[in-house]
Structure 1
Amino acid sequence: MKKILVNAIPMTVVGTGVGRYLRGLYVTLEKEFSDRLEISYFTGKSIVRNIPNSEGPGWKEALGRMLWRMPYPVAFGARLLSHLPIERRFRSLSRDYHIYHEAAYFPFKAAARMPTVFTIHDLSLLRYPQWHPRERVLYWRTFFKRRLGLADSFCAVSEFTKREMVEYLDINPELIRVTPLGVDTDVFNPEHDEEAQAVLESSGIPEEFILFVGSGDPRKNFDALVNAVEKTQCQLPLVSVGWSGWSSGHEKTIINMGYVSDRMLAQLYRMATMLVMPSEYEGFGLPVVEAMACGCPVVISSAAALVEVGGDAVIKVENVHDSNLLSCAIDDLAGSLSMQIRLSGLGLKRAASFSWCDTARGTAKVYLDDKYGQNL
């Protein structure tokens, strides 16, 4: 029995992509590999045996907003003061485990030199630091390169991310296993949810709309989408979903839902005329898969990871900064029911190829590798 220790702090924070990845992965690992893996979770306060619940929007999100408003040296100091006692706690608690899995910024230093598996989602902090708060970039730079050497094996969420890891981090490709994210078909499916529909309609959601899912992170290109929607002939309203520490400046011209539950998100996908994901850069692009699984037509940018995930089941816009090009793509899709039906069908087939079972099996192969013995 392999004893796995997971940094589960991202699972306690609402709405993070890393948290969604960890939850999808470990819910499945607990079901499929409980006879071979004993999994424990570090919450920042203690180690627990059960998958921790999200604490919901609260003080951590408020702290995030405060960090963005602070001068960056002060914000960096605050982040560092928060990190150091948590890492000390991790070191004191992380004894008697065979493997440590990290999926956030960089690995902690464990109490002993136990094998470490590090999942890397993207390299935006390295390649595009201008898209991130300065304190976050400084925090990452302070630790990442030094801690990278602690990892014995790596998981990448896409072939694109693996290529970048090899090119920009000089990691041996033989140490990297690609484990794409999956989709929870119990939640994200084309089956209409009347109760969720009623709640959304009471919140003022129109019958037809364009959907955007993501943070206000500049790389998401939300401004480009707003500009394109304003030029469309279809004049569909734009609904935005996702927590953000950024202010877009468009709060009065869009319907901003903020954070919503997965159940509500799935119904928004079903209701939407289309999802538009115009990101400049992604490591994977989970909203694309979730939307396709709900039968929602999808428009994407030419970002390599989105093209990899969407395949031929999406509409690709080569330059989303060309508002005329993006608005025409939106109008073409909005005005063609046959195109919507075709993309919906292709998307359902494409989404079926992304399974948390596959993610779990690929990750379990790393954990169960003979090179990671069970001697403590």
Structure 2
Amino acid sequence: MRIGFDATCLPPFIAGAGRYICGLVSGLSAEDRSNEYYIISKKQDRHLFADLPENFHLIEVPNLSRPLRVGWQLSAPRSLSTKHKLDVWHAPHYTLPRGMQGIYSVVTFHDMTFFLYPHFYNPAKRLFFQRMIRDATNRADAIVAVSKTTENDIRHLFGQSTHKLTHVYSGINGHFKPDSHHRRTAFEQFRINKDEKFILFVGTFEKRKNLP
């Protein structure tokens, strides 16, 4: 099977969905030698996909501004899928390209905050992603939610049937493992009393994250 994977949506600062994209490519490259993967990446991000096995092919596209990149994401994959005879196209960040007849399409949704908490976004971004999510929900052959909560939100908002929507939890990077030495150092560095309760938050600081 020949699978196209759109990694062009990676932001300059890799967090959240960006880590999902990099981690998914890394995990698949470690496990799968039978399928052919075509990773579409901006030139500035090619170092993130170095040393991939032979069945992974990196396709570089220009470093476009956000408006031009969005236009590319919606239109260019059609010709790429034809050129490389792709069987599947995976859009890992909401936006599903147009004109992908004859190819199986998968889209990943990370949350539904554009609908549930619209006041946290500027109008242009909110309206764009609301439209893209509705469109992808209607056209995708499969929808992946990164959590059970997101899956439930999608069902509540759009009523998607069970055969099309599922949740697939993100994996855990092998770097994360118990380390008593560094744990002690962290407690000391941040002046944390290990006998007291505390909250560890490692995400981006945004109002919608409901931080105390």
Tell me the TM-score normalised to structure 1 length. Answer: 0.44
C-alpha distance in structure 2 between counterparts of 1:111 and 1:174, whole Å: 20
Gap change, CA 1:136 and 1:12, over 3 Å in 2: closer
Alpha-carbon separation, structure 1, partners of 2:131 and 2:143: 20
* 2:155 is equivalent to residue 166 of structure 1: yes
Q: Which runs of 5+ in 2 are unaligned?
A: 52-62
Q: CA RMSD in A?
A: 3.1
Residue matched to 2:15: 16
Matched, 1:219 2:208: yes
Residues 135-183 of structure 1 deviation map (CA, whole Å, 9 limit, x = unaligned): 2102113433223222001212222222222221121112222211121
Structure-2 separation of matches of 1:22 and 1:94: 19
- Measured in 2, the distance between the counterparts of 1:173 and 1:92 equals 31
Aligned counterpart, 1:206: 190
Query: Is the 1:101–1:117 contact (alpha carbons within 8 Å) kept by the matching residues of 2?
Result: yes
Which residue in the other structure is 1:90 paired with? 77
Offset of residue 104 of structure 1: 0.7
Displacement after TM superposition at 1:25 (Å):
2.2
User: Residue 10 of structure 1 contacts residue 18 of structure 1 at CA under 8 Å; is this kept in 2?
Assistant: no
Cα deviation code 1:190-211 (max 9, x no counterpart)? 12566xx6xx89xx94342764
Shift of 1:109: 1.9
- Residues 111 and 118 (structure 1), Cα distance of their counterparts in 2 relative to 1, 3 Å cut: closer
Aligned partner (choices 130, 133, 152) of residue 141 of structure 1 = 130
Give the Cα–Cα distance (whole angstroms) in 1 for the partners of residues 73 and 165 of structure 2.
28
- Paired amino acid for 1:20: R
Q: Can you give the 5+ residue segments of structure 1 that lack an aligned partner in the other structure?
A: 54-59, 61-77, 226-376
Instruction: State the match for 2:96 in structure 1.
Output: 107
Q: CA deviation at 1:86?
A: 4.5
- The answer to whether the 8 A contact 1:8-1:52 is kept is no
Instruction: Assess if the C-alpha contact under 8 Å between 2:137 and 2:143 holds in 1.
Output: no
Aligned length: 189
Instruction: Give identity over the alignment, percent.
Output: 23
Structure 1 runs (4+) deviating above 6 angstroms are: none
1:28 corresponding residue in structure 2:
27
Cα gap change, 1:44/1:147 in structure 2, threshold over 3 Å: closer, same or farther? farther
Question: Rg: which structure is higher?
Answer: 1
Deviation by residue 1:225-252 (Cα, 9 ceiling, x = unmatched): 2xxxxxxxxxxxxxxxxxxxxxxxxxxx
Counterpart Cα distance in 1 of 2:179 and 2:31: 26
Q: Kindly indicate which of the two structures has a greater share of residues assigned to helix.
A: 1
Shift of 1:219: 1.2
